[in-house]
Amino acid sequence: MTDSSHESVPSRRRTRFPGISSRAYEHPADRSALVALRKLAGFDTVFKALSGLLPERSLRLLFLSDSVRVGDTQFAHLNGMLRDACYILDLEKVPAMYVTQDPKPGAMCIGLDEPIIVVTTGLVELLDEEEMRAVVGHEVGHALSGHAVYRTVLLFLTNLAMKVAWIPLGNVAVMAIVTALREWFRKSELSADRAGLLVGQDLKASMRGLMKIAGGNHLHEMNVDAFLEQAEEYEAGGDLRDSVLKILNVLPRSHPFTTVRAAELKKWAESRDYQRILDGHYPRRSEDKDTSVTDSFRESASHYADSVRTSKDPLMKLVGDIAGGAGDLGGKLRDRFAGSNGNGSGSGKGTD
């Protein structure tokens, strides 16, 4: 399972990416954080030192003893997808993969020394072959980016926060770290979605998979365009009160909302960046050591500036107005919280 040989690409012809760096598909916020962490002297050593504290060995033994390890004789079709995903993204060492009994669709990539991929029976039963290929590619993308280490730390700290909940200051300190890690991990999920698309190279399959995760195995009752319209409505709808509620709703989550993921992936699939990767123009792993932290942060800042400028969310529009030096801040806050369009037509109504 952990040898470096790969099976040939399936009959549907797809592009392979020799030596591709995870920087090619990483979301700007994810990439800047990872580049900074990788540049910290001794960071990897510190994390490896945590291996005695983190439950990695326990998790490995748990999956080995109570799940089914994917291989040539067990879940062979998943084994083919796994080896194919590693071939497409040029990941030399194929991670171990397990199927665990759980009716809830899910997948994760964890581990400190070596990543392992776990998928639930609910996910395997829900998705068709091409949809599942995108998910396996998603998890291999996590492995290539080194996300498994931080995901394992996040799991450990989440469990720790529950155990020290009775210690007020201890819980606050741990939850602050957990909240920050969750914010990063949500961005890493957008990166992994892109990796899944690079592996499957079938945007429709990726969209179907996300819709099924949101609404179950009822594709005949769903529509991609209508699903994406939900993301548009979610982003643009309501007033500042709704913007605050969106933030509160997403804080405890490790993944972005499914409609948002679908909209983000479609936007990236239609971008010049995606086409350049398919054409063979992408950063190589051999260049990772020369990556500039400053450039990565600059790209991240530029991305967020663009997001604020183009966002239809009421809070982001207000932030853009403030950044642009817009006057009458008090009036704008009043109008946005009241749901007014700010042109005076709603004056005196709905502002209590």
| Catalytic hit among 139, 189, 221, 229 | 139
Active site residue 139: yes
| Crossing angle of the two packed helices 168-200 and 203-215, in degrees rounded to 10 | 140
**φ, ψ at 4 (rounded to 5°):** -95, 0
Residue numbers annotated as active site: 139
